[in-house]
Amino acid sequence: MLAEKVILYDDSCPLCQLYTEGFVRLGVLPRAGRVAFGQAPVQCPEVFETLDVARGRVAIPLIDRTTGEIAYGLDALFLLIGHQATWLRPALRQRGLKAAIWPLYRLLSYNRRQIAGCQPPVTPFDCRPERHLGWRSAWLGIALLGWLAGVAAHALAPVLVVAALQLVGGIFAARRGWDALGSFATNCLVFALLLAVLPLAWWPLALAITLLDLHRRAWVFRL
């Protein structure tokens, strides 16, 4: 166990909550080694003061309480993964692997709250990343292409109805800004992925999941 390490995670991001909790359950980190970003200024101010906040908003930080050293992003995740799965350490040391994964990490990190469709926490500090036109546009492009491919491949009347609802929702979301638009684009991509992985006979399930998620995201942004 890395008892001297502390990882800070975005307490508004379900994925961040899930995988950092996984490190605790696997015994890589102690329970006290997982701290929500929003609570960090109060719970461990000595750790928070050493942080490059702008960098930490985008790349999850892993702080060593003993030495004060901080690993960010993939360096932090590779260190934790390598501690648990020692057989992966040689691969994780390869620069090529990090270079290959880095764009995906950035894409997900900059758009994590839009992917989750969540609101910021009501805490002393919010680790929301700065808006980045390039990474947001990349996510919107991926979601749009996936949505178009899914709808075109399943030109059933119910599919087209949901697509129309998503299109209307996207128009309203665009008026609320990039965050809302990114969230609704994620709903479109979820719809396309469900159509791709579920058997055609299961399309009612795909539509139900999509509509529930669409309603949830609309409620979050008060559309």
Please check whether residue 127 lies inside any domain of the structure.
no
The answer to the question of residue 49 being in a domain is yes
Total domain count, the chain: 2
Choose the final residue of a domain: 62, 80, 112: 112
Same domain, 36 and 99: yes
| Shared-domain flag, residues 108 and 10 | yes
What's the pTM value of the predicted model, to 2 decimals? Answer: 0.88
- Asked if residue 147 and residue 79 are part of one domain, the reply reads no
Beta strand pairing status for 61-64 and 70-72?
A: antiparallel
124 located within any domain: no
From first to last of its 223 residues, the chain has per-residue pLDDT tens of: 788 999 999 988 888 999 999 999 999 999 999 999 888 888 888 888 888 999 999 999 999 988 889 999 999 999 999 999 899 999 999 989 999 999 999 999 999 999 998 877 777 788 888 889 999 999 999 999 999 998 888 878 888 888 898 988 888 898 888 889 999 999 999 999 998 898 878 888 888 999 999 889 988 887 6
Residue for token digits 């040689």? Answer: 90
Q: Which of 44, 78, 112 represents a domain boundary (last residue)?
A: 112
My answer on whether 144 and 91 are in the same domain is no
Q: Are 70 and 143 part of one and the same domain?
A: no
Q: One-letter amino acid identity for 35? A: V
Which of 134, 70, 128 lies closest to 106 in space, CA to CA? Answer: 134
Q: pLDDT, tens digit, for every residue of 102-159?
A: 999 999 999 999 999 887 777 778 888 888 999 999 999 999 999 999 888 887 888 8
- Domain housing 72: 5-112
